Structure 1
């Protein structure tokens, strides 16, 4: 559980509500269903329109990473690769065949199988770099769903403000309806700017960081397996992977 994400969201909402209360404003005035529908509904529809169904669904699924990020145990990964190198040094590359079926990650499984099959190091690196490129592209496209939402939300807030003012102008003769229209106008702007800068854009940036971490882990796997295919010493492989890890922290 990523506790800092929970703290950040609670802190942001608390700051807005507390600020409203300190200024003597009515907290209930921030709760406007009409403004929420215009901003969030409009933002999501715009994002859906620009995305493919696969990209949009992937982006929605990635939101759980904000609270439950993918495993990032680089130490375990280094130990595993070093263990493979020691096994290969003792029994040859074919001795790694037993590890292939143990892999749950399709990327690692494919790379390890190529080593067992005797693929040349350059071929191994080339094939797996293409895999990494495709994986990175798909992940980044999914993360951009939230980045796009951060771009559209403020504009939808302005749209909500204009609609609210139109409602006000239509009812100038009835003062009892003016307050509701003005409230929708200003609260829609708050929703648009607030959701973009307190949620959508931070979420997009965090997802892009987590994708970069995933890519670095895959690159470590490729680096280690290429070294194993080259017959390098396990200690040298471990040292290289730790240097690689330090570069991407």
Structure 2
């Protein structure tokens, strides 16, 4: 689980809610029609902009941020070194039996076991990397669009509220409460954009860069194992991907 994401969202909403509670009445910040306009309108516009499959994929990717454990770069390097040790000890064909939930790593192991040409490995894995980046870019774009639409629909809700307020100018006592309700939709839209959608888009971008780096490590490791399956040599090459203070090699 990504603690930083959960922590940030909880702290952000806690600060906003705390400021509301300290300011007095909290009930005035609850407006169901305003929430319907902002939430419903934002997702409706997103459905117009993207196919439903891409929206569902983006939501799953966002959920995965909270549920999946983040693999470190050092762990990926260590995995490739272990694979090099197996290939040196048992031969390249032994890599066909490597058990892993990473389909990219599995493909790399099969290509190594087949003693494929380095150009074949390069082309196959490069296509995988490019495809992964495109999928991740779509997920990021969905949340970027939501971050754009939610304040806009908040403004639409405010305009609706202002029209309703102006229609009751004959009653001065109703102007203040009506104005407050009109501003709430802008508040909802800004909160959703600033605390949810934009941070999730940024987190997905960070995860994408992180995973791209890991795929590059697997790609370079696969080539190195084919050229020279000495585990120490593999580590020396792949350790360049790891910050110097985090490098470690357990023989």
Judging changes above 3 Å, is the alpha-carbon distance between structure 1 residues 216 and 93 closer, same or farther for their aligned structure 2 residues?
same
**Cα gap change, 1:85 to 1:147, in 2 (>3 Å):** same
Q: 1:203 to 1:98 in 2, by over 3 A?
A: same
CA deviation after TM superposition for structure 1 residue 54, in Å: 1.9
Q: Aligned ranges for residues 123-162 of structure 1 at < 5 Å?
A: 123-162=120-159
Structure 2 CA distance for aligned equivalents of residues 129 and 146 of structure 1:
26
> For 2:67, what is the secondary structure of its paired residue?
coil
- The equivalent of 2:96 in structure 1 is 97
Alignment-derived partner of residue 110 in structure 2: 113
RMSD between superposed Cα atoms in Å: 2.1
CA distance in 2, matches of 1:6, 1:30: 24
TM-superposition CA deviations, 1:70-99 (whole Å, max 9, x none): 431433332221122122224432232222
Name the residue aligned to 2:193.
196
> How do 1:17-96 residues align onto structure 2 when only pairs under 5 Å count?
17-22=17-22, 24-96=23-95
Please name the residue that 1:14 is paired with.
Answer: 14
Distance in structure 1 (CA, Å) of the matches to 2:216 and 2:168:
63
Shift of residue 10 of structure 1?
2.3
Alignment of 1:216 with 2:210, yes or no, is no
Query: Residues 100-123 of structure 1: CA distance to partner in whole angstroms, max 9, x if unpaired?
Result: xx1222221112111111211122
Distance 1:63 1:95, change over 3 A: closer
Instruction: Describe the shift of the 1:66–1:79 C-alpha distance in structure 2 as closer, same or farther (beyond 3 A).
Output: closer
- CA distance, structure 2, for counterparts of residue 45 and residue 170 of structure 1: 28
Q: 1:91 to 1:10 in 2, by over 3 A?
A: closer
- Measure the CA separation in 2 of the matches of 1:89 and 1:59: 41
Cα distance, 1:6 vs structure 2: 2.6
How many matched pairs? Answer: 245
Q: Tell me, in whole angstroms, the C-alpha distance in 1 between the residues paired with 2:30 and 2:153.
A: 17
**Is the CA contact (8 Å cut-off) linking 1:65 and 1:207 kept in structure 2?**
no
- Structure 1 residues 3 and 88: CA distance shift in structure 2, 3 A: closer
Q: By how many angstroms is 1:67 displaced? A: 2.2
- Cα displacement (A) at 1:240: 1.8
Uncovered stretches (5+) of structure 2, i.e. residues with no partner:
247-251
Contact 1:62–1:143 under 8 Å retained in 2: no
1:174 Cα deviation from its structure 2 partner: 4.4
Q: 1:170 aligns with which of 167, 172, 186?
A: 167
Shift of 1:176: 6.2
